[in-house]
Structure 1
Amino acid sequence: MYLKYAIWGVFIFSSLLLFLVAIRSQGGGRLLASLGLNVVIAAFLLYGLNVLSAYTHVELPINTATLGTATLLGVPGVILLIGVKLTLL
């Protein structure tokens, strides 16, 4: 039981340290800002696709894997996810 809290504590502490190192480095703030903007755009893109699922009949879950793919690859990543979903189902 305590191990779970210890793992979360280490995760939060290491995330804070990584954030501080990124902020203090040259251009680290711009990197974090652009990454955050890409994550938000990807989330809205996936959400918009799910809202339009009544018309498109394609629904993608918003989870870490799909959000990461859409963040790194953008619109081609979302098209890739749609292709993988249609191919595997």
Structure 2
Amino acid sequence: MLVFLIFRSRGGGRVLSALGLNVVVAAFLLYTLNLLSTYTQFELPINTVTLGTVTVLGIPGVLLLVGLKLTLL
């Protein structure tokens, strides 16, 4: 029902495209961080939780995940 309401409204396509772009940028950030793990010896998994956190929060979300991993593990 929620998807139907989003597509029915005028700005629904714009919202979905912005969300899709944010997910792609978040995945790229996490992939880049993992690519540099040979130099930093630090790695974050790319899963739905980390991807969602970085999608919503952006760079501060990456820093939050890094801080959580350093603190808890």
With the shorter chain as reference, the TM-score category is: over 0.9
Q: Corresponding residue for 2:18?
A: 34
Tell me whether 44-53 or 22-31 shows the greater mean CA deviation: 22-31
1:67 aligns with 2:51: yes
Structure 1 residues without counterparts, runs of 5 or longer: 1-16
Larger radius of gyration: 1
Q: Work out which structure has the larger RCO, using CA pairs closer than 8 Å and 6 or more positions apart in sequence.
A: 2
1:19, CA displacement in angstroms? 3.2
Q: Deviations over 1:14-66 (max 9, x none)?
A: xxx54343122121111000000000000000000000001111100000100
What code does the residue aligned with 2:27 have?
A
TM-score (normalizing by structure 2)? 0.92
After superposition, where does 1:70-81 map in structure 2 within 5 Å? 70-81=54-65
Name the Cα RMSD after superposition: 1.1
* Alpha-carbon distance in 1 for matches of 2:16, 2:65: 25
Q: How many residues get paired?
A: 73
Runs (5+) with no aligned partner, structure 2: none
Aligned-pair identity (%): 68
Question: Structure 1 segments of 4 or more deviating over 3 A?
Answer: 17-20
For residues 11 and 40 of structure 2, what CA distance do their matches in structure 1 show?
Answer: 41
Question: Take 2:72 and 2:43, find their aligned partners in 1: how far apart are those partners?
Answer: 14
